[in-house]
Amino acid sequence: MSDTPAPMSPERLQRMAEVIVKIGLNLQAGQDLVMTAPVAALPLVRQIAAEAYKAGAGVVTPLLGDEEITLARYRHAQDASFDRAADWLYQGMAQAFAGNAARLAIVGDNPMLLAEQDPDKVSRANRANSIAYKPALEKISNFVVNWNIAAYPGTAWARQVFPDLPEAEAVAALAEAIYKASRLDGADPVADWTAHNAALRQRSAWLNGQRFAALQFTGPGTDLRVGLADGHEWHGGASQAQNGVICNPNIPTEEVFTTPHALKVEGHVSATKPLSHQGTLIENIQVRFEGGQIVEAKATRGENVLQKVLDSDAGARRLGEVALVPHSSPISASGLLFYNTLFDENAACHIALGQCYSKCFLGGDKLTPEQLAAQGGNSSVIHIDWMIGSDQIDIDGIGADGSVTPVFRKGEWA
């Protein structure tokens, strides 16, 4: 395989890899690392491996994916292939995490890769993959080990974000956008991330002190009350995994988030940004909740895909996360739609369908799945974020006594 020029300079790649290893993962001496990435991200993968070994990593195992190989399946595979997944691989990953290996995912694939493929096959393959991945996903959603997701500017992704630019310029522009959004452009990115984490901790601490019973979202097309799980806990920025390591799961991140009560969501809500999901752009989502469950859902584009997502399993129509992000966040201020949840969710307040995070409960690492469910935690094979915040959304915190406290006004912290 011939090397193609990296869209980031060696200095920027090294800086990015250092922040991913030291801040994102906080990789420990002797700890193994399991890393997934698109093959186009090989320049960053190599630099991360170098930084990981400098930090004392045990064994770094990269697993590379390729868009053409993914498409080959849809073009040539037998029909039965789409009901199967590499469960042996995910069982191995779950075993690695059980043995304290850290997890890193580099994203950068074409978000519209499967847009022209049979939506039924895409849906079946996603469902099979979600079921197979669940043993590994549970280790991540329960925050058993330190993990991180970061991004690399793939060519097809760049063309999607910057359709009016020549290819090389589009890739350079996406590289610059990722670099800035990831807070890597300051004099000392590690110090900048330390300060940013402190600010997010301050927001989380205030919310935890309030002990709200619910959040009320109000704005154009939205009148939604999100009940919060019993014993919920707000998190943001760096958090401590069950293995004791403090890490930043997402680079970038601008959110503070917690667990809604799966049975206590009422009202209607409209998406404020499109949702890019498995090659389909789902636009203008509008849903209505009763008793915590979506009972009505529509979209002006991609509605058939949205309906398939909602039918994934019993928990897919209920919420697993609610997150607060100011409209003035750097990603929102960029004015870009990244077609990638890692970025787009950090441009606006959002909710997530599906699986909750056990770490968003007081003492969540000691609670059984049955106890989490009893406190309002949702269980599902999916976890899909979509944006409901804008500069026209107000949010109030509702106390157990019915008291109302302003939290957001016109998309900003009140």
pLDDT tens per residue, range 342-361: 999 999 999 999 999 988 99
* pLDDT, mean over the chain: 95
Q: Which domain holds residue 148?
A: 10-181
Pair 173, 267 in one domain:
no
- In whole angstroms, give the CA distance from residue 298 to residue 288: 9
**What average pLDDT does the segment 405-412 reach?**
98
Portion of the chain with pLDDT greater than 90, in percent: 91
Q: What is the pLDDT of residues 285-295, one digit of tens each?
A: 999 999 999 99
Tokens of 90: 């995910």
Tokens of 280: 């389909």
Pair 272, 172 in one domain:
no
pLDDT at 5: 59
Pair 91, 170 in one domain:
yes
Contact (CB, 8 A) for 253 and 324: no
Residue 220: exposed, middle, or buried by beta-carbon count in 10 A (0-12, 13-18, 19+)? exposed
Pair 274, 402 in one domain:
yes
396: CB partners within 8 A, 6+ apart: 215, 216, 218, 404, 405, 406, 407
Pair 137, 221 in one domain:
no
| H helix runs in 104-256, sequence order | 119-141, 155-161, 167-181, 189-210
Q: Is residue 200 part of a domain?
A: no
> In this structure, what CATH number is given to the domain that contains residue 113?
3.40.1830.10
Q: Is residue 289 part of a domain?
A: yes
Tokens of 11: 């200095």
**What average pLDDT does the segment 282-309 reach?**
96
Q: Which residue has the higher pLDDT, 90 or 141?
A: 90
User: In 3-state terms, what secondary structure has residue 227?
Assistant: strand
Pair 263, 351 in one domain:
yes
Residue 243: exposed, middle, or buried by beta-carbon count in 10 A (0-12, 13-18, 19+)? middle
Flag the least confident range among 1-5, 195-199, 298-302: 1-5
pLDDT at 1: 40
**What average pLDDT does the segment 394-414 reach?**
97
User: In 3-state terms, what secondary structure has residue 383?
Assistant: strand
Pair 228, 114 in one domain:
no
Q: Is residue 247 part of a domain?
A: no
Pair 23, 104 in one domain:
yes
What pTM was computed for the model? 0.86
Pair 261, 150 in one domain:
no
Q: Is residue 91 part of a domain?
A: yes
Q: Is residue 118 very low, low, confident or very high in pLDDT (cuts 50, 70, 90)?
A: very high
Q: Is residue 194 part of a domain?
A: no
Q: Is residue 269 part of a domain?
A: yes
Q: Is residue 245 part of a domain?
A: no
Pair 88, 165 in one domain:
yes
Q: Which amino acid is at 331?
A: I
Q: Is residue 3 part of a domain?
A: no
- In whole angstroms, give the CA distance from residue 332 to residue 337: 9
Contact (CB, 8 A) for 256 and 228: no
Total number of residues shown for the chain: 414
CA angle 169, 171, 172 (to 5 degrees): 65
What is the total count of domains within the chain? 2
Pair 291, 382 in one domain:
yes
Pair 17, 143 in one domain:
yes
- In whole angstroms, give the CA distance from residue 185 to residue 261: 39
Cα 120 → chain centroid: 24
